[in-house]
Amino acid sequence: MDIKSIMPKFPEPYWRDSVRFPQFPKLEESINVDVGIVGGGITGITTAYLLAKQNVKVALIDSDVILNGTTGHTTAKVTAQHGLIYDEFIQHFGLEKASLYYQACTEAKEMIEQTINELEIDCDFKKEDAYIYTNSDTYLSKLETEKKAYDQLNIPSELTESIPLDIPIKSALVMKNQAQFHPLQYLRALLEECVNNGVKLYENTAALDIKQKAYPTIVTRDDHHITCRHVVTASHFPFNDGNGFYFSRMYPERAYVIGIKTNKKFPGGMYINAESPTRSIRTTTIGNEDLWLIGGENHKTGQGIPTIDHYKALQSFAEKHFGIDKFLYRWSTQDLTTLDKVPYIGPMTKEQPSVFIATGFRKWGMTNGTIAAKIISDRILGEDSPYEDLYSPSRFQADPAIKKFTSMNADVAKHFIKGKLEYADNSVKDLSSDEAMVTHINGQRVGVYKDTKYNLHALDTTCTHMRCEVEWNAGDRTWDCPCHGSRFSYTGEIIEGPARKPLPKVDLE
């Protein structure tokens, strides 16, 4: 293989590599504020920014460092074109609600642009048209149907047989006047505003529980309390789901991005195909050159082919169509999809109106995260939002949600049983450096990873959420659960998902 095309050994998102952030302390005491926010991604930081501007006292905590979760791993398209969705929404919710969804995404896009102008943020913000293209006969009629939905919703658009990008297509649907930016340059500026407006920020501070007394209180892993009038759970998967059973109402999917340089000139635009496997293409600027971001290969977490093969598939696609001059970055991300594909934004449950949740962004977190911040901050400030009902986590749309609910949970049951029946009698002695295996020790299913310094890390592979068996993710060196998407580091620590306890270590002696 050409040396230029060699994949980076470790995953790292370009966004994080190109911005430096201030560090924040760990919370070491109990505090009182008006609003406690859990999660330092786009939703949490934008909510803190909007509230602090109105003199609300806010504390924001993150279990890791700020902006290292899904927001730091996005492709950062600022668009209302969230795949082929509008015809489905019209069929399912009716014209009015489908129109509200478009309006909400457009408002989020405008909010981002307005904030950039107001704060004069240098974040590579660019207006671009967004294209969904297809090269499959099966999808031609689907694009036509989606175009009719756009027309019903008065979305400026065009159905075309040619696009600026040199790639074979049969048809494409263009949504005009969308945008892209560098998400972490944008959010660093919001973070600075938060600091200037008195927001208290804490890193390495995991929330464990919410105690409902006269006011809700966030309890941290170190047993410090944040007492507040409102809690905002912006931690991707809710760290505490208040008996809202969110794990059974969403499914997790992973997706992959590679960052390359090519000798081709990028003609502008943001692209995604309609069919599977997904291919998403945009560029950003690195120095004075284009860094092409090729994404896709979506699959359910912990299921399917070895994860490293997804990066290889993107690499082959890029080589075939654009050529790779330098292979600079690779990273992956995980996001959640709700039963009806509309995020859950609003009070966590009817019984806890002052605890808010924002989740299920379906990988469209820039607009969904921003509108979530607006809806939740409006509600806290006592203002009405036209979007409350559409996004309400307590909504109940029987069809097709119920069918989806049943099939999702049947999938969980299948993986629960498959993991238990699997017979693996591998020998740890056969492990090479930077490799993992599943084996059985004294009847117990054990996952063992040998790191690059030849240390072995052995873990009980039974997920601490609801006891499915985790699988090795070689692309990211994590143990991933196929049931509800909990992910653990090779030392057993929780990275994300509904699990609240690490995977127990196993003694190999």
Instruction: Give min distance, CB of 486 to ligand FES, in A.
Output: 4
Q: Which is nearer to ligand FES, 236 or 374 (CB)?
A: 236
Gap between the Cα atoms of 182 and 507, Å rounded: 44
Pairing of strands 207-212, 216-220: antiparallel
Q: Which two tokens stand for residue 69?
A: 């979760």
Greatest CA separation found in the chain?
67
Q: Assess contact for 159 and 143: CB atoms under 8 A.
A: yes
Instruction: Give min distance, CB of 407 to ligand FES, in A.
Output: 17
Burial 227-263 (b: 16+ CB within 10 A, else e): bbbbbbbbbbbbbbbbebebbbbbbbbbbbbbbbbbe
The footprint of ligand FES (CB under 6 A) covers 247, 463, 465-466, 468, 481, 483-486, 497-499
Q: Backbone dihedral region of 134: left (phi > 0), alpha (psi from -120 to 50 degrees) or beta? A: beta
Q: Comparing C-alpha atoms, which of 298, 367, 303, 310 is closest to residue 336?
A: 298
Q: Which two tokens stand for residue 53?
A: 């501007």
CA distances from 99 to 93, 151, 215 (A): 10, 11, 37
Q: Which is nearer to ligand FES, 50 or 463 (CB)?
A: 463
Instruction: Give min distance, CB of 488 to ligand FES, in A.
Output: 10
Considering Cα of 164, then 169, then 174, then 177, what sign does the dihedral take?
A: negative
Instruction: Give min distance, CB of 231 to ligand FES, in A.
Output: 23
HEC string of 161-181?
Answer: CCCCCCCCCCEEEEEEEEEEC
Q: Which is nearer to ligand FES, 148 or 467 (CB)?
A: 467
Q: Assess contact for 409 and 247: CB atoms under 8 A.
A: no
Count of other CB atoms within 10 angstroms of residue 168: 7
Query: What is residue 182's DSSP assignment?
Result: -
Q: Which is nearer to ligand FES, 345 or 483 (CB)?
A: 483
Instruction: Give min distance, CB of 41 to ligand FES, in A.
Output: 20
Q: Comparing C-alpha atoms, which of 456, 434, 437 is closest to residue 447?
A: 437
Q: Which is nearer to ligand FES, 243 or 397 (CB)?
A: 243
Instruction: Give min distance, CB of 467 to ligand FES, in A.
Output: 6
Instruction: Give min distance, CB of 416 to ligand FES, in A.
Output: 7
Q: Which is nearer to ligand FES, 448 or 483 (CB)?
A: 483
Considering Cα of 347, then 349, then 351, then 355, what sign does the dihedral take?
A: negative
Instruction: Give min distance, CB of 496 to ligand FES, in A.
Output: 10
Considering Cα of 104, then 201, then 498, then 395, what sign does the dihedral take?
A: negative
Gap between the Cα atoms of 379 and 491, Å rounded: 40
Instruction: Give min distance, CB of 490 to ligand FES, in A.
Output: 17
Q: Which two tokens stand for residue 304?
A: 């399917």
Instruction: Give min distance, CB of 270 to ligand FES, in A.
Output: 32
Q: Which is nearer to ligand FES, 365 or 497 (CB)?
A: 497
Instruction: Give min distance, CB of 252 to ligand FES, in A.
Output: 8
The SS3 assignment for 50 reads helix
Q: Where are the beta strands (DSSP E) in 124-229?
A: 126-134, 157-160, 171-180, 200-202, 207-212, 216-220, 225-227
Q: Where are the beta strands (DSSP E) in 234-311?
A: 250-261, 270-273, 279-286, 289-300
Query: What is residue 246's DSSP assignment?
Result: G
Q: Which is nearer to ligand FES, 483 or 506 (CB)?
A: 483
Q: Which is nearer to ligand FES, 326 or 500 (CB)?
A: 500
Q: Which is nearer to ligand FES, 65 or 495 (CB)?
A: 495
Instruction: Give min distance, CB of 461 to ligand FES, in A.
Output: 10
Q: Which is nearer to ligand FES, 279 or 484 (CB)?
A: 484
Q: Which is nearer to ligand FES, 340 or 496 (CB)?
A: 496
